[in-house]
Amino acid sequence: MVLLMRDVAIVGVGMSKFGEEWGRGYRDLILDAGSKAVGDANLSGSEIDAMFVGTMAPGRLVGQEHAGALLADFLGLNPIPSTRCEAACASGGVAFRQGYMAVASGMHDCVVVGGVEKMTDAPGGDVATALGGAGDQEWELFMGATFPALYAFLAHRHMLDYGTTEEMMAAVAVKNHKNGSHNKYAQYQNEISISDVLKSKMVASPLKVFDCSPITDGAAAVILMPLDKARKHTDTPVQVVASAQASDSLALHDRKSLTKLAATEIAAKKAFAQAKMAPKDIDVAEVHDCFTIAEILAIEDLGFVPKGQGGKATLEGRTALNSDISINTSGGLKACGHPVGATGVKQVVEVAWQLRAQGNGRQCTGAEVGLAHNVGGSGATAVVHIMKRVN
Amino acid sequence: MANSGIVGYGTCVPQFRIKPDEIARVWGEEPDRIIKGLGLQEKAVPDIDEDAGTLAVEASRNALQMADIDPVKIGAVYVGSESHPYAVKPTAAMVAEALGATPELTAADLEFACKAGTAGMQICMGMCASNMIEYGVAVGTDTAQGRPGDALEYSAGAGAAAMIIGRQKSQWVAELEATYSFTTDTPDFWRRQHAEFPSHGGRFTGAPAYFRHVMGATQGLFEKTGTTAKDFDYFVFHQPNGKFPLEAAKKMGIDLEKVKPGLVTPFIGNTYSAASMIGLCAVLDKAKTGQKILVTSFGSGAGSDSFSISVTDRLEEARAKVNHPLAYYTAKKTYLDYGLYVKHRRKLKSL
């Protein structure tokens, strides 16, 4: 089946500044990212024939549903089909996969994929409730669990089974802040220390404030075309060589293991098979670090390090920029920020920049192959994309 | 517009205090994070029979003692607060009555979050300068509310400050040289009708609200009067906590030593409508003839009023007339535990 599909390339990318964008609304953010991507692809909006947009909870956060049509309208793309994709924090990754399939299948020739979330207009408690919708409402949220609490369960189990320490988790935040300090789009561009993380306020033991990704406004956009037409628009097309997605139970108690996200593992296996690659072939990866423990789980489940070694590898600097593998060069969700619907698309934007050698102070030297890993909820959805530079 | 000046000022701060450590103990927070993070040592708590009205009366009487004027010549009383005891029934009329200024005067309550008191000062300045009145009284008073467990609970204090403003230069203890205001519709902090406690926008109360308006008004005053920070001996900024005024000063390149004498929130909490005015009183209690003070208030919602104030040679003599200066109130302290605090603030609903 794969052989019948067309090769797909990213021809343009763009993102808004991530952060507390108090002066900009939901639609302003996507307009910013979308127009940058269209400009980057050197095309006019009239050439775009479909749109997919990842956004998790605009209804709850800004009272706006029907985001697909709204955002197409504001990007000046009417009357093309525009579809909203929702998979909690993996909404962006799922939207990108829909865009990829639309071009690969031949249904569409030029697709814009957007991701957006406007979170800081809502009070903190309302944001926590909205994000809680990513978990199992009846079994988890109704019983009082919040998202930090769910990931705290995973962290405790990982500590118990593999000896992972709070310091190892803190090392994830420290590395990501260092990467983020070179990213002008990042919410936090300051470096922090292990002791800053350890001393920060407790949220849900063992996770402290600096173990958690922040509440963020932001948008990102990507333009996809068939590879054979991509050269007309860019000298540096980035080919999407694998797209895989897997699902798992929403509730943690239905899982066989609390020390891995099975959906990540399955999606990764499929993606590597499609790309005919192995984890060692990846130079640079954006992984879903909504909490520091999530990055440790991710690098293990994706196969970059053996199970149980993620914390140790991070503390030893083996996931830092230009080490064994460069993880979360953008600063990750932790430092770049986590506007939930935008995150999956932003990961693709960052990987594309890395493969085009546009990483500025955070460039992974000679990056040829990159991976984006986006998780919904506590692992009920996982999306993995592998991209390579076309020379 | 140098046609009005302060002829007397007074303050009142309730004697009860609670420390952040005690509030943190109840809510399971780390006290150091509050003390260092907000720059707060303790806050003033009203007695069970004190409210914004009683505090306003005492502060106004202290001001009257300093001004040493015939209260019947007071032509206006404005009381700014966000904790007026009545939703409908003016605190200003109670204050006017208690001062002996009734019935030939105008009076009204004002509300603009924490800057309603300085708005009253501006109204009195205009009325004096236009010869509508001989003297006007502007009061900022609050028994500030904070939802139990909310960050505001550590800072929401209680206190009042009153300024008697007059038009006769010979009576001024300080000249009100100029004022400049900076106002926008910015929803950083609010309390709806019938809501017991205010809501706030968390970090949104910082950069786009407090700092934009405080700095906007201060810089506007500099431009309007052709002055710079060097021309002033003291700066008083609205002080929701112990940190914001120093941060604002730092951002504007102002020597922090010029700000600290007017920084009283660390010891009495944020007295809301009274905060910048009590800060001004603290400075006036030590300022010398000829010294210049810049005051900038801030009220959520949002706006700031800046004033350029110059101390006259009458101040020292006038200060001596007051039995209860600010130092009296800040020194007289009785500490409460959280249980008594709950009683004082009537937070126990079954009572």
Interface ipTM: 0.73
Q: Is residue A250 helix, strand or coil? A: coil
A9 to chain B, closest Cα gap in Å: 40
Cβ of A124 within 8 Å of Cβ of B202? The answer is yes
> What residue in A sits closest to B207 (Cα-Cα)?
A22
Mean pLDDT of the A141-156 span: 94
Average pLDDT over residues A20-26: 95
User: Angle at Cα A344 formed by Cα A307 and Cα A290, nearest 5°?
Assistant: 50
A-B CB pairs within 8 A amount to: 13
What single letter denotes the amino acid at residue B48?
A: I
Is A163's pLDDT higher than 80?
Answer: yes
In a domain, B350, yes or no: no
CB atoms within 10 A of CB A102: 23
Kindly state whether residues B81 and B166 are assigned to the same domain.
yes
Rounded to whole angstroms, the Cα distance separating B284 from A384 reads 66
Which chain B residues are within 8 Å of A123, Cβ to Cβ?
199, 201-202
Model confidence band, residue A150 (pLDDT cutoffs 50, 70, 90): very high
Query: Using a CB-CB distance cutoff of 8 angstroms, which residues of chain A are in contact with residue B147?
Result: none
- Does B204 contact A120 at a Cβ distance shorter than 8 Å? yes
Q: Angle, to 10 degrees, between the axis of helix B31-38 and the axis of helix B20-27?
A: 130
Sequence letter at residue A265: E
A19 secondary structure, DSSP code: B
CB contact under 8 A, A22 and B208: yes
Q: Please state the rounded mean pLDDT for residues A87-92.
A: 98
Instruction: Among B33, B204, B207, select the one facing A201 at the smallest CB separation.
Output: B33
Q: What is the DSSP string of A320-382?
A: STTSSSEE-TT-HHHHH---HHHHHHHHHHHHHHHHTT--GGG--TT--EEEEEEEETTTTEE
Q: How far is B201 from chain A, CA to nearest CA, in Å?
A: 7
Residues of B in contact with A208 (CB under 8 A): none
Handedness of CA B242, B244, B250, B254 (dihedral sign): negative
- pLDDT value at residue A3: 57
Residues B105 and B197 in one domain: no
The domain tally of chain B equals 2
Residues of A at the B interface, defined by Cβ within 8 angstroms: 20, 22-23, 120, 123-124, 201
Q: State the average pLDDT for chain A.
A: 96
Measured between alpha carbons, how far is B268 from B271 in angstroms, rounded to an integer? Answer: 7
For residue B189, the chain A residue with the least C-alpha distance is A123
The first and second tokens of residue B226, run together, are: 């052709």
Are both B242 and B209 inside the same structural domain? yes
- Cβ distance of B203 and A124 shorter than 8 Å: no
Q: Which residues contact B226 (CB under 8 A, 6 or more apart)?
A: none
Element (H, E) at A194: helix A194-199
Rounded CA gap, A178 and A188, in Å?
10
Q: Do A124 and B33 touch (CB under 8 A)?
A: no
**pLDDT on residue B346:** 85
Q: Are residues B24 and B140 in the same domain?
A: yes
Query: Residues near B163 by Cβ (< 8 Å), separated by ≥ 6?
Result: B6, B8, B9, B63, B121, B124, B137, B138, B139, B277
Let me know whether B198 and B70 are in one domain: no
Cα–Cα distance list, B98 to B56, B91, B93 (Å):
10, 11, 9
Contact A306, A180 (CB under 8 A): no
Q: Is residue B134 part of a domain?
A: yes
pLDDT over 70 at A1, yes or no: no
Q: Which residues of B are catalytic?
A: 82, 114, 238
pLDDT computed for residue A313 by the predictor: 98
Q: Are residues B305 and B321 in the same domain?
A: no
Task: Say if the Cβ atoms of A201 and B203 lie within 8 Å.
Answer: no
B30 touching chain A per CB within 8 A: yes
Neighbours of B334 (CB within 10 A): 11
Please check whether residues B283 and B323 belong to one and the same domain.
no
Average pLDDT score over chain B: 96
Out of A4-8, A171-175, B226-230, least confident range: A4-8
Indicate whether B14 and B154 sit together in one domain.
yes
The mean pLDDT of A75-83, rounded to a whole number, is 96
- How far apart, in Å, do the first and last CA atoms of chain A sit? 26
Q: Which among A38, A2, A34 is positioned nearest to A16, based on CA atoms?
A: A34
pLDDT for A37 equals 97
Longest dimension (CA), chain A: 56
In whole angstroms, give the CA distance from residue B346 to residue A212: 37
Residue A123: pLDDT band with limits 50, 70, 90 = confident
Query: For residue B202, what pLDDT is reported?
Result: 84
pTM of the model: 0.86
- Give the rounded percent of residues in chain A with a pLDDT score beyond 90: 96
- Written as tens digits, the pLDDT of chain B (351 aa) is 558 999 999 999 999 999 999 999 999 888 988 888 899 999 999 999 999 999 999 999 999 999 999 999 999 999 999 999 999 999 999 999 999 999 999 999 999 999 999 999 999 999 999 999 999 999 999 999 888 988 899 999 999 999 999 999 999 999 999 999 999 999 999 999 888 889 888 889 999 999 999 999 999 999 999 999 999 999 999 999 999 999 999 999 999 999 999 999 999 999 999 999 999 999 999 999 999 999 999 999 999 999 999 999 999 999 999 999 999 999 999 999 999 999 999 887 765
Chain CA centroid to CA B292, Å = 19
B23 shares a domain with B68: yes
pLDDT of A391 reads: 82
B117 in any annotated domain: yes
Q: What is residue A106's three-state secondary structure?
A: coil
Q: Answer whether residue B215 is part of any domain.
A: yes
The tokens 């499929």 sit on which residue?
Answer: A270
Q: Is B257 on the interface with A (CB under 8 A)?
A: no
Backbone dihedral angles phi then psi of residue A234, each to the nearest 5 degrees: -155, 150
How does pLDDT run across A94-119, given as a tens digit for each residue?
999 999 999 999 999 999 999 999 99
Q: Could you give the maximum distance between any two Cα atoms of chain B, in Å? A: 58
Could you tell me if residue B349 is inside a domain? no
B226 touches chain A (CB under 8 A): no
Q: Are A109 and A48 in contact (CB under 8 A)?
A: no
* Among A240, A182, A169, A238, residue whose Cα is nearest residue A210: A169
B124 and B271 housed in the same domain: no
Q: Which residue of B has its CA nearest to A123?
A: B201
Q: Which residues of B touch A22 (CB under 8 A)?
A: 204, 207-208
Residues B95 and B236 in one domain: no
Report pLDDT digits (tens) over A266-295: 999 999 999 999 999 999 999 999 999 999
Mean pLDDT, residues A53-78 = 95
* Strand ranges inside chain B, DSSP E: 5-12, 16-18, 43-45, 74-80, 106-110, 135-143, 158-166, 174-186, 189-190, 199-200, 234-237, 292-296, 301-311, 334-335
| Residues of A labelled as active-site residues | 89, 338
Option in B33, B199, B203 nearest A20 (CB): B203
Domain containing residue B282: 175-311
- Domains of chain A are 2-122+216-230 (3.40.47.10), 134-214+241-389 (3.40.47.10)
Cβ <8 Å between B202 and A123: yes
B186 forms beta bridges with: B301
CA distance A59 to B315: 60
Residues of A whose CB is below 8 A from B203: 20
pLDDT of residue B30: 87
Residue B351 lies in a domain: no
Window 152-211 of B: residues touching A by CB (8 A cutoff) are: 199, 201-204, 207-208
Name the phi and psi angles at A198, rounded to 5. Answer: -65, -30
**Tokens (6 digits) for B155:** 């800072």
| Residue A348 scores a pLDDT above 80 | yes
Name the pairing type of β-strands B74-80 and B43-45: unpaired
Nearest CA in chain B to A200: B33
Residues B154 and B234 reside in one and the same domain = no
Closest in B33, B199, B204 to A22, CB measured:
B204
| Residues of chain A neighbouring B207 (CB-CB closer than 8 A) | 22
Chain B CB contacts of A217 under 8 Å are none
Domain containing residue B10: CATH number: 3.40.47.10
Q: How far is the alpha carbon of B172 from chain A, nearest alpha carbon, in Å?
A: 44
Residue A127 CB contacts under 8 Å (≥ 6 apart), including other chains: A61, A119, A215
pLDDT score for A210: 98
Average pLDDT over residues A37-62: 95
Please report, rounded to a whole number, the percentage of residues in chain B having pLDDT higher than 90. 89
Residue B259 in domain: yes
Backbone angles phi, psi at B194, to 5 degrees: 70, -5
Which DSSP string corresponds to A222-235?
EEEEEHHHHTTT-S
CB contact at 8 A, A342 and A218: yes
B207 CA to chain A: closest CA distance, Å? 10
